[in-house]
Amino acid sequence: MKTKILIALGLMTTLLNAQMIKVTESTAITKPYTQKVKTSERCYEQTIEQYVNCGDRDRNTIGIDTIIGATLGVVIGNQMGHGNGRDAAKIIGGLSGGYIANQQRAQKRCKTYNQVTKCDPVYEYITEDRVVGYRNCAFYKGQKVCKESSTPLEYLNVTQKIYVH
């Protein structure tokens, strides 16, 4: 039995002994952080081209385009049907051609120019140091011992290894 205990003690090479020591210095660990920040706006005047409906005021008048449209409608209507059907096709064609031509004039688009103020954002890149952790140090048996953490520590947990042979 004593042999088994000695073998077990021989196989065990380390014995852990933990001790708490007071931190003597905590130093912030920083890293540069760059971000894009809108600082102002740059504004300027610009002329823009726009299309507007310029035919609304002529909607109820008959122009040369209406007459040409009605004539073309009668000619096309004449090509269809026989007898009274042809007369009806000419009437319908003439009215349709005149209406379509008049609507085209009423929906005529005209160019106009307007002054507008446009503003573009102005960005700057700002770099600042941000704290990403702390280096906590203390002295233990004449040696400086340090550990990094996310917050400053008050004590360090020091582990001492003892070798048994």
Q: Each residue of 120-151: pLDDT tens digit? A: 999 999 999 999 999 999 999 889 999 999 99
Residue 108 confidence (pLDDT) = 66
Does 13 reside within a domain?
no
Does residue 140 sit within a domain?
no
Q: Tell me what percent of the residues of the chain surpass a pLDDT of 90.
A: 39
- Asked, for residue 64, whether it belongs to a domain, the answer is yes
How many angstroms separate the CA atoms of 126 and 107, rounded? 53
> Do the domain assignments include residue 40?
no
Its domain, for residue 72, covers 55-107
Give the largest Cα separation in the chain, rounded: 133
Confidence of residue 10 (pLDDT cuts 50, 70, 90): very low
CA 105 – CA 63 distance, rounded (Å): 9
**35 pairs with which residues across the strands?**
126
Residue 137, in any domain of the structure: no
pTM of the model as a whole: 0.41
The rounded distance, in Å, linking the Cα atoms of 17 and 157 is 10
Question: Could you tell me if residue 61 is inside a domain?
Answer: yes
User: Which pLDDT band holds residue 26 (cuts at 50, 70, 90)?
Assistant: very high
Q: Which residue has the higher pLDDT, 108 or 8?
A: 108
Tell me if 99 is assigned to some domain.
Answer: yes
The pLDDT value given to residue 134: 97
- As for how many domains the chain has, the answer is 1
Say what the pLDDT of residue 56 is. 53
Task: Evaluate whether residue 67 is within a structural domain.
Answer: yes
